[in-house]
């Protein structure tokens, strides 16, 4: 009955929402026009011939709010995170095209929207799409959806998915208090097979979109920006519109009282990509920032190591073929391919190169450093030789300061937000009164102690440690030479050190273990532990994960010699 063309895509392929409005099956644009439905259930002599369903109205709640669903809350979180990433310089199409399509696909796969009503379930979000609509058929169609473009100023919390007006509120059927309509049901359901949405998964969505676009932001950087407050995650519900009342069980869903964990976010991203049946991601080539050669250059600069080490990292990457697109590119659901952690891989390559050149056995690196120190004293004309001992002292001093500052910031962090939260209506007045007392006491003690509010945080940066020749307070080793530890052999520069010790002779194959090799700092040289500690700070992850990757690279690098040598011999000749 509706013959007008879509104002957004000019197509004429209309469907009906549960609210009776027309929507475009091509771009999912919902119009304001509603269909007049002929009612055939009345007697033939009845006067009423047609009825108009009109628009679904958001029902008001007793406390002045409006009905909202958990998926709408997560939708708002994703919108805020995408906007924050755009402000950090990420490609604008991430939110409108990539992340939006991922979210729409997730709603369909989890049967929360864009699908038929699942049989046997009485409380479920309905779809704007009928059985003829399939998101999979046009996964690359662009366009700004209402899903990630909620208008907070107008208080319009409706998404493209309309909810059945006949659904009774969960709060009425259960004794559990919740601000959202389906909060209690959401926590009661066993949705493991449907990959139920959580707050860490919002970061998995963002990282998956960044990876699809091959943006120059690693997962460790994303999580660091979250901790520093540049990306909404902790207390993100403060961005919810006033009409979206958050209380009761909603706090267990949206309140976060722990820092995001690298492994959890990464593993959820892999599960999510497989759950959505995504195709092979765009290839990671040598021109991409996520390529090991690029990331090694970045981490060498941040770790204040000589520029000449980059040639050695490139040689290792090429030798064991970990720079090939087939190795680096994510293929969702393919269990035979290894899931690459790009930042951890680059850090592990640098650690292996340092072991190749300096051995890091608490003895050989100090001998080389003494030799370089004598040479630098006697020869002032040429460029300085790299001194491992001097580098160790400079980095340790800066690292200790940064770690202490980080520990203090985490200790002082206030997990409870200024906005009072309550789990039940009965306790609301008590919570508000107690919060007011706390605020008054804080203000009084602040005036007595003369405390000054902390200054605003500086702009986010990819580098946590900065080094330059102009900085007189810190020594910069970028331009130092490696000639003191190299020798020319058959036209190639090789290390003077002929030996190499393996972190482990055999990789662990136990799936329940979670690690390919076991790491305890007391079992390894202190120099090796210090280097791991440095990169674990830069990536904000546990040193054991870098150690795992080092072991994998070593077994690839010395694969032929490992097959010949006895397993108990851990020292190899290069």
pTM: 0.77
Mean pLDDT by 10-residue block, N- to C-terminus, for the chain (574 residues)? 74 77 76 60 40 45 70 93 94 91 92 63 37 36 36 34 36 52 74 77 97 96 94 86 79 87 95 94 95 96 95 96 95 86 97 95 93 86 88 95 89 69 59 68 68 61 79 75 84 83 81 73 92 96 94 89 52 52
Please tell me the predicted confidence (pLDDT) of residue 432. Answer: 63
SS (H, E, C) 63-106: CCCECCCHHHHHHHHHHHHHHHHHHCCCCCHHHHHHHHHHHHHH
Please tell me the predicted confidence (pLDDT) of residue 559. Answer: 80
Residue 541 and residue 344 in contact, taking contact as beta carbons nearer than 8 Å? yes
Residue 270 and residue 338 in contact, taking contact as beta carbons nearer than 8 Å? no
Taking residue 182's Cβ as centre, other Cβ atoms within 10 Å add up to 25
The number of helix segments (H) and strand segments (E) in the chain equals 19, 9
Nearest to 352 by CA among 528, 530, 481: 528
Q: Which residues, in sequence order, are bridge partners of residue 494? A: 487
Distance CA 339, CA 549 (A): 12
Residue 281 and residue 317 in contact, taking contact as beta carbons nearer than 8 Å? no
Tokens of 216: 């120059």
Contacting residues for 420 by C-beta, under 8 A, at least 6 apart: 431, 432, 435
Q: Which residues, in sequence order, are bridge partners of residue 495? A: 486
Following CA atoms 162, 196, 74, 425 in sequence, which dihedral angle do they give, to the nearest 10 degrees? Answer: 90
Residue owning tokens 């957004």: 8
Following CA atoms 213, 217, 220, 222 in sequence, which dihedral angle do they give, to the nearest 10 degrees? Answer: -80
Tokens of 466: 């900065």
Residue 424 and residue 177 in contact, taking contact as beta carbons nearer than 8 Å? yes
Contacting residues for 402 by C-beta, under 8 A, at least 6 apart: 464, 465, 537
Tokens of 402: 């940064």
Distance CA 77, CA 347 (A): 32
Please tell me the predicted confidence (pLDDT) of residue 44. Answer: 43
Please tell me the predicted confidence (pLDDT) of residue 429. Answer: 64
Distance CA 99, CA 95 (A): 5
Q: Which residues, in sequence order, are bridge partners of residue 60? A: 66
Taking residue 223's Cβ as centre, other Cβ atoms within 10 Å add up to 23
Please tell me the predicted confidence (pLDDT) of residue 425. Answer: 54
Distance CA 542, CA 245 (A): 38
DSSP state of 499: E
Number of C-alpha atoms within 13 angstroms, CB side, residue 149?
A: 10
Q: Which residues, in sequence order, are bridge partners of residue 501? A: 571
Helix (H, G, I), strand (E, B) or coil at 330: coil
Following CA atoms 120, 125, 127, 128 in sequence, which dihedral angle do they give, to the nearest 10 degrees? Answer: 150
Nearest to 212 by CA among 264, 277, 279, 260: 279
């Amino acid at each position: 009955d509706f013959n007008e063309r879509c104002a957004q895509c000019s197509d004429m392929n209309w469907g009906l929402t549960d609210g009776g409005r027309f929507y475009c099956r091509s771009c999912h644009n919902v119009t304001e026009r509603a269909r007049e439905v002929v009612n055939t259930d009345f007697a033939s002599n009845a006067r009423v011939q047609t009825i108009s369903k009109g628009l679904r109205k958001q029902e008001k709640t007793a406390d002045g709010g409006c009905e909202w669903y958990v998926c709408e809350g997560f939708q708002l979180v994703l919108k805020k995170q995408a906007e924050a990433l755009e402000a950090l310089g990420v490609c604008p199409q991430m939110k409108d095209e990539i992340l939006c399509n991922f979210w729409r696909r997730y709603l369909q796969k989890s049967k929360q929207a864009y699908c038929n009503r699942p049989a046997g379930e009485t409380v479920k979000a309905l779809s704007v799409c009928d059985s003829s609509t399939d998101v999979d058929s046009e996964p690359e169609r662009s366009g700004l959806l209402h899903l990630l473009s909620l208008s907070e100023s107008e208080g319009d919390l409706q998404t493209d998915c309309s909810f059945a007006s006949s659904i009774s509120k969960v709060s009425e059927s259960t004794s559990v208090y919740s601000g959202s309509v389906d909060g209690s049901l959401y926590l009661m359901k066993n949705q493991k097979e449907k990959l139920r949405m959580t707050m860490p998964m919002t970061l998995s969505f963002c990282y998956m979109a960044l990876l699809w676009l091959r943006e120059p932001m690693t997962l460790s950087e994303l999580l660091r920006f979250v901790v520093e407050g540049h990306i909404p995650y902790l207390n993100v519900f403060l961005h919810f519109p006033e009409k979206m009342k958050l209380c009761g069980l909603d706090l267990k869903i949206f309140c976060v009282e722990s820092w995001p964990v690298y492994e959890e976010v990464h593993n959820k991203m892999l599960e999510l990509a497989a759950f959505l049946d995504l195709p092979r991601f765009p290839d990671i080539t040598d021109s991409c920032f996520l390529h090991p050669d690029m990331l090694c250059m970045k981490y060498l600069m941040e770790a204040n190591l000589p520029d000449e080490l980059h040639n050695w990292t490139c040689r290792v990457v090429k030798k064991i073929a970990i720079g090939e697109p087939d190795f680096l590119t994510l293929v969702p659901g393919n269990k035979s391919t290894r899931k690459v952690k790009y930042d951890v891989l680059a850090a592990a390559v640098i650690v292996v190169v340092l072991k190749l050149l300096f051995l890091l056995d608490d003895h050989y690196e100090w001998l080389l450093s003494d030799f370089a120190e004598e040479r630098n004293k006697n020869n002032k004309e040429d460029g300085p030789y790299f001194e491992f001992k001097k580098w160790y002292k400079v980095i340790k001093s800066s690292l200790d300061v940064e770690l202490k500052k980080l520990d203090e910031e985490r200790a002082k962090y206030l997990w409870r937000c200024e906005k009072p939260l309550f789990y039940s209506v009965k306790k609301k007045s008590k919570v508000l009164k107690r919060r007011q007392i706390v605020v008054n006491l804080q203000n009084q003690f602040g005036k007595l102690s003369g405390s000054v509010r902390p200054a605003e945080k500086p702009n986010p940066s990819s580098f946590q440690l900065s080094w330059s020749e102009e900085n007189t307070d810190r020594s910069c080793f970028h331009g130092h030479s490696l000639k003191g530890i190299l020798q020319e052999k058959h036209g190639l520069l090789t290390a003077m050190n002929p030996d190499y010790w393996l972190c482990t002779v055999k990789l662990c194959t136990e799936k329940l273990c979670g690690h390919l090799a076991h790491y305890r700092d007391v079992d390894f040289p202190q120099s090796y532990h210090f280097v791991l500690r440095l990169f674990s700070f830069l990536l904000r992850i546990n040193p054991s994960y870098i150690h795992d990757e080092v072991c994998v690279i070593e077994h690839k690098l010395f694969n032929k010699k490992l097959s010949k040598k006895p397993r108990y011999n851990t020292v190899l000749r290069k």
